[in-house]
Amino acid sequence: MDIFGLLPKAAPMKYCTLLLLIASALPVAGQWQLNPMPQTYGLMQIWFTDPQHGYACGADGYFPATNDGGIILETHDWGITWDTLFDPEGDSNYPAIMRGGDDILYTSNRYSNLYRSTDDGESWEKLEFEGTDFLYGAMDMPNPETVLFAGYSGEIFKATDGGNTIERKLYLGTPYQSILDLQCAGTDTCYCNTYTTILRTTDAGETWDTVFIPPTIWIEDFFVYPDQTLMCACNDIADKMLLLRSVAQGVTWDT
């Protein structure tokens, strides 16, 4: 088992550890600079709402499974300095990137908790929902009224009414098929991936269809552009990599 105690050793995770790389739009020779890791060594993900304002979240400790608590940081100066926005004592780490709008933010943690802030992160409340005790580490918004979140239990939940209504819309069943990432593009259209499939919704998460099964055995990563062009990196048991692209919303793919 890995440091989470939840995933097989081969499970891909994205970490933001030890340092931050901040890209500058200024026309200079070096457009990247190294920023020291702020306050913690366990940051997992980072999200910027504009070039200057962003958030970072993860574990408040070196290893995400040490249960030192979660932490959410905020910057208003391109990531040069960071302030603590949320640091609950005694709770677990917060690996899921935040999403929100109009001063409403959402984040989730290792023990299936979903949190909401309605004052741009000044205060937080835990939202109750019927989910299994697994990490929910994928989150995005197909529209301003809807938050979708998913994770290693193979469940996808849809939150509406500012998070007051949370319903499970997909359950891949046991043995658990981990949902590793979830990305939205276009009105009410989102994609998510397991190790071996990419699924799509066109109705803001109400229904999901499989649009891709890789020709090799493993989906390493995928990315959705705003025009719904999809890029997918796959590999096989011999670690041979295959990069695929779809300009047809996953219906057809080119190498």
**Strand intervals (E) in 63-174:** 70-75, 83-86, 99-101, 104-108, 114-117, 125-127, 138-143, 146-150, 155-160, 165-171
- DSSP labels, 172-186: --TTT----EEEE-S
- Hunting for tokens 């779809």 — which residue is that? 246
Question: Is the distance from CB of 76 to CB of 60 less than 8 angstroms?
Answer: no
Give the model's pLDDT for residue 108: 76
Whole-angstrom distance, CA of residue 185 vs CA of residue 234: 21
DSSP state of 38: P
Q: Summarize the confidence of residues 130-141 as an average pLDDT.
A: 78
User: pLDDT digits over 100-129, tens only?
Assistant: 776 788 887 666 678 888 888 888 888 888
Structure-block tokens of residue 82: 């960071």
Give the model's pLDDT for residue 15: 38
